[in-house]
Amino acid sequence: MHAFLAILLALPGSALAGKLSDPDLAKLVADPAADEDERVEAAELLAEHRALDQAALMVAACAPQDLPNVCEHVLAALEDMKGEPAMVAVDQALMVPGLDDGLRAKALTILRKQDPERADPRVPRLLTEYRKLEPGFATDLISYLPERHLTAWQDITILIATDSGAQRRVRVAALDAAEAFQHPALYDAWLGMLTDEDKKIRARCAKELGRSGLPASLVRPALMNVVQTDENGNVRAAALGSLRFYAGPELLPLLHTEVLHEKNPLAWGQAMELLEPLADASSVGTLCQLLAMQANLIDDGVVRIVHTLVRIGDPKAVPCLEALERGTSSEPVRVEARAAIDLLGGPSQARSSAMNAWSVVEIHMIDPAAPEPPPVQLGVSLDAAGAAVWATIPTP
C-alpha cells in the first residue's frame, strides 16, 4: 500500500520527484516548519528509493511536538524500506518520551513483524508507565509478554493485576498474562481481582484460588470474605468450592450460617457438601434446624443431612430425626430417618459400616504444623510516582 502511494507521488504530478536528492528529502521530512503535505510526499519518495542511509534523519519527524500525521507516514515509509537502519529508526521512534500512544503502537507493530528481537526488551520498559498509557496500548504490551515467552519480565503481570491504581481493562489483561505464564505468585493476582466489577472475573479468581499448595494464611480469609460479602451466588459458590482445599473446623461457623441462610441453590449445595465431612457435635443444632425446614428441600438434600447426623454419631440428634420421621410426607425420607435413629442408638461399628457406602466430597485439611510456602518476592515494584521499577532487569 505505502509503496503504491509512493509510486503515485512519483508520477509527473509530484512536486518533488526528481527535484531533490535523498538527503534533501530527508531534511524536508525532518523540518517541522515545512509544509505537511510536502513532508509526507518526501517520506514516501524516500521509501520508494529505499534510502536506508536517511532513516536516522527521517525519524526526527516523530518528535512529540511535531505533527502526528507526518510521523505516521515516516513509520510507514520505514516499514516499506525494511533493513537494519530502518528498524533502528523505528526503535528510536518507539522510545521517544511523550510520543503519542497510537504512534508507539504502530512502531511496535512494525518491530514485532520485522525485528521482534529488538522489540522484546522494549516492551517491559514501556510498561513501566502502564498507569499513564492508553488502555488499548497497555493491553497489547502486556499480551506481548507471554506471546513472546518473555518470562524474565513476567513479574510485572502480577504487579499490574494487583494494582488498584491501574485501569481495570489493563488489570484483566495482566491477569490473563500471569495465568499464561503460570506465575508462582498467581494467587496474588487472583486475590487482587476478587473485587472486580465483573462477576465472571470474581468467580474465576475465587475458583482458581482453590489450587492446593497456595498460602492458606492469605487465601482462606479472602475466600471466607467472598462467601460472606459477595452479592452474586455463583461467586459465593466458587469460593465455597475452593475452600475445600483449605478445610478445617475453623470453617464450621461460616458453613452453619451458609446452610441456614444461603438462597442460591449452587452456593447452598457447595456449603452443604463442605459441611458434610467437617461437621461435628457443634453442627447438630444447625442440621436439626435444616430438617425442621425440610419442606423447602428436595429429598436428596434431606437425606444428606440425615447421613451427616449419622456420621457425627451424637444421640442428641435423635429427637429431630424422630420429628422428621413423623412429619415427612416422603416415604424414602421416612425410611432414612428411621434407619438413622436405629444407627444412632446402636454401636459405632454399625454406623461406620453404614457410612462406608456414602460418598462425600474430597477435601484437603490444613495441617497447622505444616510450614507454608514463603510469599514470592517480585523483582518489580512501584515508585512514589506509581511507575514500575525493576530491582533487576535483563540487559537487551
**Is residue 379 in some structural domain?**
no
Same-domain status, 15 and 94: yes
**Is residue 326 in some structural domain?**
yes
Same-domain status, 79 and 183: no
Per-residue confidence (pLDDT) for residue 255, from 0 to 100: 97
Q: Which domain holds residue 175?
A: 123-193
Q: With b meaning 16 or more CB within 10 Å and e meaning fewer, what string describes 263-280?
A: ebeebbbbbbbbbbebbe
Nearest CA-CA partner of 337 in 354, 323, 348: 323
Same-domain status, 99 and 155: no
Examine the fold and report which residue of 193, 208, 235 is the final residue of a domain before the chain moves on.
193
Same-domain status, 199 and 234: yes
Examine the fold and report which residue of 237, 262, 278 is the final residue of a domain before the chain moves on.
278
**Is residue 395 in some structural domain?**
no
Same-domain status, 127 and 114: no
**Is residue 341 in some structural domain?**
yes
Per-residue confidence (pLDDT) for residue 7, from 0 to 100: 44
Residue 272 C-alpha cell reads as 452443604
Per-residue confidence (pLDDT) for residue 6, from 0 to 100: 46
Same-domain status, 143 and 90: no
- A 10 A CB-CB count for 365 gives 13
pLDDT tens sequence across 127-170: 999 999 999 999 999 999 999 999 999 999 999 999 999 999 99
Per-residue confidence (pLDDT) for residue 319, from 0 to 100: 95
* Number of domains the chain is built from: 4
Per-residue confidence (pLDDT) for residue 8, from 0 to 100: 40
Per-residue confidence (pLDDT) for residue 361, from 0 to 100: 77
Same-domain status, 12 and 98: yes
What is each CA distance from 275 to 168, 237, 293, 361, in whole angstroms?
36, 13, 18, 10
**Is residue 388 in some structural domain?**
no
Examine the fold and report which residue of 193, 209, 239 is the final residue of a domain before the chain moves on.
193
Show Cβ contacts of residue 11 under 8 Å, excluding neighbours closer than 6 positions.
Answer: 17
Per-residue confidence (pLDDT) for residue 209, from 0 to 100: 95
- Residues (pLDDT < 70) of the chain are 1-18, 350-359, 393-396
Q: What's the predicted TM-score (pTM) here?
A: 0.82
**Is residue 285 in some structural domain?**
yes
Per-residue confidence (pLDDT) for residue 5, from 0 to 100: 41
pLDDT tens sequence across 80-136: 999 999 999 999 999 999 999 999 999 999 999 999 999 999 999 999 999 999 999
Place of cell 509478554: 145
Nearest CA-CA partner of 365 in 274, 282, 271: 274
> What is the torsional sign of CA 218, 221, 227, 228?
negative
Rounded CA gap, 30 and 14, in Å?
A: 19
